Copies of this chain bind each other. A is one copy, B any other.
Amino acid sequence: MPRPTNPKLRRAILDVARRVLIEQGYPALAMRPIAREVGCTATSIYLHFDSKDALIHALIDEGMELLGRELRAALAAGATPRDRLQRLARAYLSFGLENPEYYEIMFMLHPSRMERYPAENYRRARRNLDFFHQELAAALGPAAADRDLRAEATLLWTSLHGTVSLLIAGRIDAAIDRDKLVELAVAQVLRSLSPPPLLPESDAARN
């Protein structure tokens, strides 16, 4: 389904859609308002995107690639595995906070919208998260032997995601300094390099 057409209009549509999304939320992400802001007709959008879902998916793709770029840049700048891990975390947080529109559509959309997201894109997108796994392994070295690094890397990601998404959603108490929270989140990632804590006994009895 090659769809070259006027690339400028395509860009404009994507940009407006992103802005509307963050400013007014998903329910307001309607074709006609987008068209009005872009300065074309709603019909024109359909020349560039098969459907509203396709438009959203294009935004997701763009966002994933942008994130990938930034994570790779972080990797390249790091001297040691530990340094790279820290940079990865910081880059992830920065990306989310500086591109909330992308972030929201990439990671905060309801699954009912994601179901239609082509599986192949999905897989490609997930690759971004492998960086965490890879650097965690490198940083731990032989100490990684008896740890489930895939799960640990996932945890790093989900933790960062929680911080980003709640900050974006404005759910964090205004008394909390955003930069401070970011620093703590980065530190938490580095903490995961030290050996896991012993769970209290009460826990062993549980479940």
Residues of A at the B interface (CB closer than 8 Å) are 1, 23-28, 36, 77-80, 82-83, 86-87, 90, 104, 107-108, 110-114, 126, 148, 150-152, 154-155, 157-167, 169-173, 175-177, 180-181, 184-188, 190-194, 196-197, 199-200, 202-203, 206
Contact = CB atoms under 8 A, between A and B. Distances in A.
Given A112-B24, A162-B165, A197-B190, A151 B184 contact: yes
A154 B173 contact: yes
A166 B64 CA distance: 17
A194 B154 CA distance: 22
Nearest to A163: B158
For the complex formed by this chain, how many copies does it contain in all?
4
A129 to B, nearest CB: 8
Given A27-B27, A83-B202, A191-B194, 12 more contacts: A25-B112, A80-B200, A82-B200, A87-B202, A108-B110, A148-B184, A157-B166, A158-B181, A159-B159, A159-B163, A187-B197, A194-B197
A176 B194 contact: no
B165 A165 contact: yes
Contact of A27 (B1, B26, B79, B202): B26
Contacts of A194: 191, 194, 197
